[in-house]
Structure 1
Amino acid sequence: MRVAVVGLGVQGHKRRSVAGADLAATVDPVNPEADYRRIEEAPISSYDAALICTPDEPKLAILDYLASHRKHALVEKPLIADDDAAIAGLRDRARAKGAVLYTAYNHRFEPHFIRMRELLQSGRLGRIYRLRMFYGNGTARLVHDSAWRDAGAGVLPDLGSHLLDTILFWLGSPPAAPFRVVSADRFENRAFDHVVLASAGPPSIELEMTLCSWRNDFKCDLLAENGSAHIESLCKWGPTHFTVRDRKLPSGRPDESSKTLIQPDPTWVAEYAHFKSLCESGGPDNLDNDLWINRSLRKLAAEALAS
């Protein structure tokens, strides 16, 4: 499969590296390394799919152009729009043309995220009571110095979209109750750099995201009827730990199993391979997930900005 990388920022350079010999062209309006300044300039016969690594605003127009020419596309998260119709219309046009549009959420390929999903699908833990996730990095100053990143709802669409997608990945569907904003702070930035969300559930869910965690960190604690499950860190920040505890009745120290990984981040290569397989088989796309994520982010951003 021949691919064009659109956008040669941090993510674009990662995607270009992973694409390797599949790379057919690069596109960027300002980077002198790029072969073309606009995707429309790249010969349509020179590539089969595109990896979209641009800021949020031009994504929909680029995807629409690609779908209209029956080109597959992987687009960096989040895919957001002012209304659901924009995403739904794009989805329907792409399906009609046979183009696979896939929004990249690379944490779905994190080994311990996969283990958590398999554990929940097994039913071993029984009824889920509470799920808490914390996702933090120390990029507040870098974001502050970027005109397009330090805008709007800030960390909410940036890291919050990952957490919302993880809910779908693990639970299989949105929670019973919508999320609400518990707190939204601008500690250092013009846009929000620390946000806490909650859903009354069931299960009860709390999501915390921040750009002011000076050591990059991810934590998850899931409490359930028959035990609990816990994740500490991601492979890119390793070591990362996955722990399962089986409840003792009527009480007592639980049996515990733990898996620790120390390895390079495998998610980018695995996600690209998954995208290629979707292109070869004709789908499915994942834009239905984007509709819920976009709707949730739009509502939560309005709530946070009004507070």
Structure 2
Amino acid sequence: MGKIRHKAMESHGGFDVVVACDTAIDPSATVPMVTRPSDVYDFAPDVVVCSVPNIFIPDLVCTALSHGKHVFCEKPPGRNSSDVQKMITAERAAGGSVLKFGFNHRVHDAIEEAQKLLSAGTMGDLYFMRGVYGKAGGPDYAKNWRNDPEQSGGGILIDQGIHMLDLFQMFAGNFCDIQSFVQRKFWTEVPVEDNAFALMKTPQGVVASLHSSATQWQHTFRLELYLRNGFISVDGILSASGSYGAEVLNIAINRLDSSGNPSPNPELQEIRFTQDLSWNKEVAEFYDAVVHGKPIKCGTSQQALDVMQLVEAIYQADPEWSQTLRTSATEVTG
């Protein structure tokens, strides 16, 4: 992710990358490298890009903010809402420093076009949403740091499902009523979930359902929004891995029959996107916030807190899973 951000900054222009920090020096690096995060401040950067495992995020972000630096940080924003609260406190104390989290799905072309359609109001009120985001765990699944709860905070839900939850909240606002089933089915020796099913409702009555899966053997992204006058769906999402296929926006406007009722199977309009510009858009917004003082719209600390609280609520809404989490915590602390 650090290399992806570096490439996007070079493409944008206006950034001068002065140092990179990693666990080992890369002999092919084109910039100076250090292995201790504290050493980056010897190079007097204005901006710190934080692309690290979740466990390290809050301390590194808070330290950067305390040094008066602007910070761009990957998602998930830590391991839990307490991590986000800690960073919000540091953000407020830092005054004018910019803090942005990398929820790049918000600025994918298909998602932005869907948001424009909703905002225009011509398709009427939003009734409900469905989202499926899943992948095959892969041969090194059990060894991946993302599946160590001490480092990550959870499994597939916090790692990947959090993107879909963030989109749900972007389209419909926060949820007040949450039910869930969180399961460990295939990788039973791994201490995090490999599937999460959630059903949520906003105070306004918009219902959303999510399936976040590490046993979706065919990598899948599908987001559906059903409105009074039709529906919008996004099938596939352009990604660094290229494994989710093309990014396709489908739009259908209801046609009414002679009695004024919607006819089944309205005609679809399909728009395909072939370029992932989300990384560039995120860097551009961050640059404008730092250099021109423009507000962050995607990836604010409040959005990060809202979605992390929703993740926690989904974990807690399944009594069996929340008991598993409490038992695991007792074993660790005991």
TM-score (norm 1): 0.87
Describe the superposition over 1:268-295 as per-residue Cα deviations: whole angstroms up to 9, x where unpaired: 1221122111111335351011121222
Q: 1:31: how far off? A: 4.9
Q: 1:106: how far off? A: 0.8
Aligned equivalents of 1:46, 1:143: Cα separation in 2:
38
Residue of structure 2 in register with 1:22 after alignment: 16
Aligned equivalents of 2:86, 2:179: Cα separation in 1:
24
Matched ranges for 1:99-114 at <5 A: 99-114=97-112
Q: Helix, strand or coil: the match of 1:64?
A: helix
User: In the alignment, does 2:307 pair up with 1:300?
Assistant: no
Q: 1:38: how far off? A: 1.9
Aligned equivalents of 2:139, 2:179: Cα separation in 1:
27
Residues 174 and 31 of structure 1: is their aligned pair in 2 closer, same or farther, counting only changes over 3 Å?
A: farther
Is the radius of gyration larger for structure 1 or structure 2? 2
Q: Does the CA contact (< 8 Å) of 1:87 and 1:291 recur in 2?
A: no
Output the aligned Cα RMSD: 2.2
Q: Percent identity?
A: 20
TM-score (norm 2): 0.80
Q: 1:223: how far off? A: 1.5
Q: 1:32: how far off? A: 4.3
Q: 1:199: how far off? A: 0.5
Residues 240 and 43 of structure 1: is their aligned pair in 2 closer, same or farther, counting only changes over 3 Å?
A: closer
Q: Helix, strand or coil: the match of 1:301?
A: helix
- Between the two proteins, the alignment pairs up a number of residues equal to 291
Q: Which amino acid aligns with 2:220?
A: D
Residue of structure 2 in register with 1:273 after alignment: 284
Residues 293 and 108 of structure 1: is their aligned pair in 2 closer, same or farther, counting only changes over 3 Å?
A: same
Residue of structure 1 in register with 2:171 after alignment: 170
Aligned equivalents of 1:265, 1:57: Cα separation in 2:
28
Q: Helix, strand or coil: the match of 1:78?
A: coil
Residue of structure 2 in register with 1:8 after alignment: none
Residue of structure 2 in register with 1:127 after alignment: 125
Q: Helix, strand or coil: the match of 2:73?
A: strand
Q: Does the CA contact (< 8 Å) of 2:81 and 2:305 recur in 1?
A: no
Q: 1:91: how far off? A: 2.8
Q: Which amino acid aligns with 1:104?
A: G
User: In the alignment, does 2:189 pair up with 1:193?
Assistant: no
Residue of structure 2 in register with 1:5 after alignment: none
Residue of structure 2 in register with 1:260 after alignment: 272
Q: 1:71: how far off? A: 0.8
Residues 31 and 167 of structure 1: is their aligned pair in 2 closer, same or farther, counting only changes over 3 Å?
A: farther
More off after superposition, 73-82 vs 277-286: 277-286
Matched ranges for 1:1-307 at <5 A: 11-20=1-10, 22-33=16-27, 35-80=33-78, 81=80, 83=82, 85-94=85-94, 96=95, 98-146=96-144, 148-152=145-149, 153-171=154-172, 173-175=173-175, 177-188=176-187, 190=190, 191-201=192-202, 202-236=205-239, 237-249=244-256, 250-252=261-263, 253-261=265-273, 263-285=274-296, 286-302=300-316, 303=318, 304-306=321-323
What are structure 2's unaligned runs of at least 5 residues? 325-334
Q: Which amino acid aligns with 1:282?
A: G
Describe the superposition over 1:27-56 as per-residue Cα deviations: whole angstroms up to 9, x where unpaired: 013454571112211244532111111011
Aligned equivalents of 2:52, 2:294: Cα separation in 1:
23
Q: Which amino acid aligns with 2:211?
A: E
Q: 1:207: how far off? A: 1.0
Q: Which amino acid aligns with 1:187?
A: F
What are structure 1's unaligned runs of at least 5 residues? 1-10
Aligned equivalents of 2:16, 2:59: Cα separation in 1:
24
Aligned equivalents of 1:57, 1:183: Cα separation in 2:
22
Aligned equivalents of 2:91, 2:40: Cα separation in 1:
23
More off after superposition, 248-257 vs 197-206: 248-257
Q: Helix, strand or coil: the match of 1:159?
A: helix
